[in-house]
Amino acid sequence: MPPQPTPYDTTLCVEELRAALAAHGITLPSLRVDLPSFAAEYRGPAGLIALGNCNTATARKLAEVLRKAAVR
């Protein structure tokens, strides 16, 4: 099982996703780290990104796909 992302990891992920979306002319003002996902006693997928509340791995995959599409 991979280690849970830290708030810093998740913040970097949000910035990667923001940059990848911007390369396609997309701005999402509400894109942010879902801080309550770090505060809960339940240790589910910590570090949710407030974009349909996807987890860090999903947000990173989305950013990667967007970056590759921008190169084309």
Please indicate, yes or no, whether the overall pTM of this predicted structure exceeds 0.75. no
Q: Quick one: which of 68, 63, 69 has its CA closest to 28?
A: 63
- Name the residue with higher pLDDT: 7 or 52: 7
Q: How confident is the model at residue 11 (pLDDT cuts 50, 70, 90)?
A: confident
47/39 Cα distance (integer angstroms) = 10
4/21 Cα distance (integer angstroms) = 25
Chain mean position to CA 55: 6
pLDDT tens, position by position, 16-65? 888 888 888 777 777 888 777 666 565 555 566 666 556 777 778 888 88
Instruction: Print the domain residue range for 47.
Output: 7-67
Q: What's the number of domains the chain is made of? A: 1
